[in-house]
Each structure stands twice: as structure tokens, then as C-alpha cells.
Amino acid sequence: MSCFSGLTGASKRATGTQDRGSGRQRLYENITKTVGNTPCVKINEKMCPAGRTIYAKLEYFNPCSSVKDRLACAIIEAAEKEGKLKPGDTVVEATSGNTGIAVSMLCAQRGYKCVICMAEPFSVERRKLMRFMGAKVIITPKAGKGTGMVAKAKELSQKHGWFLCSQFENEANAAFHKFTTGPEILADFEGQRLDYFVLGYGTGGTFAGAGAAIKAERPDVKIVLGEPEAAPLLKSGTKSERNADGSAIGSHPAFAAHPIQGWTPDFIPQIVEKGLEAVGYDEYIGIPGAGSIETSQMLAKTQGIFTGISGGASMWAAIEIAKKAPEGSVILAMIADTGERYLTTPLFESIQADMNEEELVISKSTPSFQLG
């Protein structure tokens, strides 16, 4: 049974809090059935330019708190249907973290063994989350970048006969977004204005899949594709060289290290390339790392939206688009994940564990500060 076998067509549009207490009006067979149907939430005037409207599609409402839960469902379910996975098998994949967490979840629920390959620079929290769910995590050297962890996963698959997810080439990835993420957006904005769809790319599944679904029904919606300013792979116009299986050969010459974890590996994924050919984009925007971090922090402090650096990057791009968009424009930004898996990254460098001077003053304002 598919993760989305219980979905209906157009959703009822609730306003305010009138639907609180009604429950979901269904029971779930297992955790994978809760993937998807994430909400679109309006951004208030503290961040949204006047005369425009910005919404955020909050993918951290998925059970393992990222858009990659969709990818894991897509790839594992497709492999099961094709007879490539059977009980007791081992699944292996290379990931910057969110895919690994999602695949770990699927493997835990299905009873598969799981091995994840992840390059050294990605946050320690990700390693612990995957191991918490029973996965084995293989750390590859920093110098090898994304291509190094992909090569390691491929080696392990070939050596041990394990199922390799191949998230950067697997067409089930984009297909799942085409039949879930895109239709969700279309249903939520049914009868409503929507002018821009703003997102970056990791594997490219959301861009290629959701972008295709949206363009097919509402060709007037402009797709805005972002990538880190420091790593302008698409902007360069240079394609990644490929092996016969579609995987990239070596690092892209335009790649440089950047803080937007989960976005833009050191190669252009095949799914991105196919998305560019089939869907394309209407506007391109380069996103600064510092701006991504600052915007993520602002989302938390002014909206109560808790997301990582890539979420900040998407919203930074959405705000920049809103500044130059015609008055009345409506923009939707994809928010890929939550913030807790960034505690040891630059996103939290300015956040201290101990009380600062202002907090000490508040503490000392009542007598109990002397206790203990």
C-alpha cells in the first residue's frame, strides 16, 4: 500500500483554529502513512514586504521532520514493488543527513538493515539520529566531498549485494513529488492566487516533480530555483560528467564549500538535469550563506517557524523575489526541514547555553536566585 493511498482530491480549506479538536478523522497503519500533506503557513509583515504575500510549505511536519521522508517512501516502496527488496535485506545510501534519517526510519519500520555513508563535514546530530534508529553510519573523508560518500555507498552495494537507493538518479524520487507534493500545493491554493514557487535543490526531486505538477496545471506560476552563491553550479552552465548509471563523475568545477547543508552537492544530480530539460525554471537566484543563516534565525524569532539553514535560504530567496514582484503577488517557499539537526553548525554559533547578562538580571530580580 502506498504512503498516500488514503488521500482525496481537493482539500477543505480551514481558517483560523476552527478545526482544532476534530482530529485527522482516520487511524494510521504505520508511521510511513503520515508522510505528506504538510501545511502552507503565511509569513507575517515582520518579514514579508508590504503588498505581497509569502507562504512557507513546512516539510518538517513529516514524521522525521524533513522533505526527505517523501524520498525515502518513494525509493523504498518502488524497490519493494519491483522485487528489489525482500525481508532482511540491507539498504545503503549516501546522504548529507536528512535522506539518511528518512531512510533509517523506513528501514526501521520495514525491518531492513540500514547503512548510511555521510561526508565528515555534516552535523554530528544527523549521525546520532540515524544511529538512534538503528542505522550504521560510515563517515567519509572531508576531502572527498559529496562524490566521495556516493562512491563509498556504491562500493559497499557492489561488495555486499546491498540495495543502493541512488537518490540522485532514482526516478521514483521526482515521481513521488509529482504525485504528492505538487498536488498538495495545487489543492491548498485552489481558487487562490499563486505567482511564484521558490526552492533550492539537493537531489532535485522536489524541483523536478512538484515543479512539473504545478506547471502542468498552472503554467502561469513562475518557478524560482536557488543555489548557494558560493557554489553556482547551474549558473556556470557547465554540466556534470556522468557514468553509465547517471551518477556524476568527480566534483563540479564551480563547486565550493557552503553552509547550506542538504543543498547543492559537489555535482549536478541527474534528477536536476532532467528537471531542467523537462520543466526548467523562470528565475534563478544565488543565495548567500550568511543571509540563509540570518533568515532562519528571523523565522524562529518573528514567525515561530523552526527550520534549518536551507529553510532560511528558501525564505531569503522568497523575500528577495517579493521585493521586486508586482504588488499583490503571492509567493510559496519550500521549507525542507527542522532546526534541531543544526545545533553544532554555524546556525547556532551565537546561541549560548549559559545565561547572558540580561538573563542573569531577570534571575536576580526575585529572591530565589540565591537558592542552591
Tell me yes or no: is domain 68-164 CATH 3.40.50.2300.
Answer: no
Q: Which of 247, 296, 310, 314 is catalytic?
A: 310
- The 10s digit of each residue's pLDDT in 310-347 is 999 999 999 999 999 999 999 999 999 999 999 999 99
Return the SS3 of 309. helix
The stretches of the chain forming alpha helices (DSSP H) are 68-81, 98-110, 124-132, 145-160, 171-179, 181-188, 205-217, 233-236, 270-278, 289-298, 309-324, 357-363
- The 10s digit of each residue's pLDDT in 77-130 is 999 999 999 999 999 999 988 999 999 999 999 999 999 999 888 889 999 999
Q: Which of 33, 57, 68, 215 is catalytic?
A: 68
Model confidence at 368, pLDDT cuts 50, 70, 90, reads: confident
Q: What is the pTM of this model?
A: 0.92
Architecture of domain 31-61+177-345: 3-Layer(aba) Sandwich (3.40)
Active site residue 136: no
Active site residue 66: no
| For the chain, domain boundaries | 31-61+177-345, 68-164
Model confidence at 351, pLDDT cuts 50, 70, 90, reads: very high
Same fold, 31-61+177-345 and 68-164: yes
DSSP string over 36-86? --PPEEE--TTTSPTT-EEEEEEGGGSTTSBTHHHHHHHHHHHHHHTT---
